[in-house]
Structures are given as structure tokens and as C-alpha cells.
Copies of this chain bind each other. A is one copy, B any other.
Amino acid sequence: MASVFGQIFRISTFGESHGPALGVVVDGCPPRLPVTAADIQVELDRRRPGQSRITTQRREADEVEILSGVLDGLTLGTPIAMLIRNADQRSSDYEEMRTKYRPSHADFTYQAKYGIRAWQGGGRASARETVGRVAAGAIARKLLQLAAGVEIVAYVRRVATLEASVDPARVTRDDVEANIVRCPDTAAADKMIALIDEARKDGDSLGGVVEAVARGVPAGLGEPVFDKLEADLAKALLSLPACKGFESGSGFDGTRLRGSQHNDAFYKGKDRIRTRTNWSGGIQGGISNGEDIVVRAAFKPTATILREQETVDMDGNDTTLKPRGRHDPCVLPRAVPIVEAMMALVLADHYLRQRGQCG
């Protein structure tokens, strides 16, 4: 049950990094939603490996096949299964990992959990697993857009210590796609690209922060207690490989303020109740208030680095390992469409939950 996400708009992903295929089943999507393979493919292409010099050089077309749930370009209300075949597998790169655990990877923990693991390429722990999420997210995004006018944009906010300046209220997808690092602050973007390039040449890796905004979310989404919108968004983002932190609205920095500085005063807006500030990040008591929802996810530096490292083998003996294999020196640029997908999945699910319970 580890691979099912959502309550009404529910997805179930499958597939190992170096197995025959990956995919996803979307259950609970409303009927008569216009969906084509092209809608999915455009998002998969943004996630695709080998898309630029600062991402992994593994070559995968990641072409999606819709197996069910869509007829003549409309959803049927039944499960939508989507398949992506693996093509460019170089298992030989991983031969050494058959017996040695890569530091800060999931090799050891999978072995501890299951007593077996897909040692080629990380199996389910590989970022390749997210291809199914992005496919499903493309449908969720379409639903939100057509049913409620919701728009979701994510972007790289920070790489290592290089912080960009971005206005979540105005940033557009075109701004984001304008460069290969997906940072809408072009000056910062140039520096980020240079820094990633340098790390890559160095056989090292970098981390950073992705920020995402959802605009046009109606007030009332999210549930009071455990399934708060922030809680489900946090789970969604922390479920991504390499993610180690989550913030909503003012986040960690906001905890340094006093209540008198931090409270968002309400006022009568043109057509709805608004807040003067948005420290809450569009969510109060776990429920959307109609303002922009703003969240941030922290991604650690990629664990795979092309350097000799201390580790142990499957017999528990000390040894060293110098990984080969292709990898992203910094996962941030490709994480952008994945973060958007997860945000869309959470919001679509809560949109349908709200419609179910509150009509």
C-alpha cells in the first residue's frame, strides 16, 4: 500500500528504474475531462532525463501510452493506466552496487527492509519512479484548470547558497522554462547553471530549494485535522526522492516574527474576502483561504557523486566505492515539474473531497 496516494483522485505507481517499464494508474478522475497523450507528454518532456547538459545523460524518450480510461479524448471515469517503457538501461554501470551500498542512497535500507533489492539503478528509490507521478499530475492539473481555474507554477528558488528573487504572485511558466535551470530570475539562473556545471565537472553535487505557487485555488479546500492541505502537501513533497524539508507560507523564517507582525489582516476585497499579507501561504487551519498557496521543498545534494567513498558491502565489511552510472549533479531543474505534479495531485484530490462532503 506504499504506492497509493490520494483519497478520491487516487494514484498508484509502479516500476523499477531498470525494469521493463514504469507507470501509473489514476483512479477516481472525473468523467468527460478532455485528456490526450500530448497533454501528458508535454509534462513528461519537462521531467525527461538528458534534456540539457546539467541533467543526467541517460537517454529516455519517456513516451507515454494511455492503456485505459480514455475514449476519443475524454476520460471515462474509470482507471487511467499509463505506461512508460524503459529504454536506455546500462545495468553494467551498477555491477559494483550489487554487493556494495552507495552512501546516502537507499541500497542499504531496502536491503534491511526487504532482504532483497533491485540493485541496478536504485529500483523504486530512483527518481525515475516519479515519471508516473508526473503523468498523473498532468491530468490533475487539467482537472484543476478546467474545473476551478487553478494555475500551478514551480521554479528553482535556490541552488546551494545562490538564492533567486521571484514574485510568486506573478511568475509564469514561460519565465520558468526560459532557461535550463528553471529559475525565473535570469541573473541568478546564469550563476546557478555555472555552479552546477562546475560541480558536475568536479564529480560533485548540489542541493537547493524549489518554490511552488498555486493561484486561483478556491477557499475551503483541505480538511480540519490530519488531512490539512499543508499536511498533505508536506507528505506529497517529502515523498519525493532527495527531499528533506517543507515549508508553507512564512515557514521556518516566520517563526522568528511576533504574532502582531505575522497575522494576516482580513479586508473586504472586490469580489471576496482578502488578506493584506500572505504569511499564511494561502492556508489557515489547514484549509485554503483563496490567497496564493505558496510552498517550498528542500532537496539535498544528489547522493551519487563520482568520487571514491567509504562504505560497507552486503557482508557488512568495510570497503570503498566509486559510483559510475549517469546522474543529475543537481536534481532541482528536473524537480520543478515533479513538484508541480505533486501539488496538482493534492489539490485535485481535495477539490473532489470537498465537492463530495460539502456538495
Contacting residue for A109 out of B116, B258, B279, B287, CB 8 A: B287
Using A78-B3, A255-B244, A264-B103 as known contacts, say yes or no to A238 and B227 having CB atoms under 8 A apart.
no
Complex: chain B residue closest to A104, CB-CB = B263
Using A1-B7, A1-B28 as known contacts, say yes or no to A252 and B255 having CB atoms under 8 A apart.
no
Instruction: For chain A, give the interface size range.
Output: 35 or more
Cβ of A215 < 8 Å from any Cβ of B?
A: no
Tell which of A170-178, A185-193, A216-224 binds the partner. A216-224
Cβ of A51 < 8 Å from any Cβ of B?
A: no
Question: Is the Cβ of B81 less than 8 Å from the Cβ of A23?
Answer: yes
* Binary B-proximity of A146-163 (CB < 8 A = 1, otherwise 0): 000000000000101100
Set of chain B residues within 8 Å of A241, measured between Cβ atoms: 285
Cβ of A325 < 8 Å from any Cβ of B?
A: no
Q: Assembly of this chain: how many copies? A: 4
Set of chain B residues within 8 Å of A245, measured between Cβ atoms: 245-248, 251-252, 255
Cβ of A166 < 8 Å from any Cβ of B?
A: no
Residue among A259, A268, A311 with most chain B CB within 10 A? A259
Question: Is the Cβ of B28 less than 8 Å from the Cβ of A220?
Answer: no
* Binary B-proximity of A251-272 (CB < 8 A = 1, otherwise 0): 1101111111111111110000
* Binary B-proximity of A1-12 (CB < 8 A = 1, otherwise 0): 111110110101
Apart from A109-B219, A112-B220: 14 A-B pairs, beta carbons within 8 A: A16-B69, A16-B71, A31-B113, A76-B116, A101-B273, A125-B285, A160-B258, A204-B259, A234-B237, A235-B238, A255-B299, A263-B305, A267-B311, A355-B356
- List 16 interface pairs A-B (beta carbons < 8 Å), by A numbering: A1-B227, A3-B79, A12-B25, A14-B25, A21-B67, A109-B222, A123-B224, A124-B224, A207-B256, A225-B239, A235-B238, A238-B248, A259-B303, A259-B304, A267-B312, A353-B356
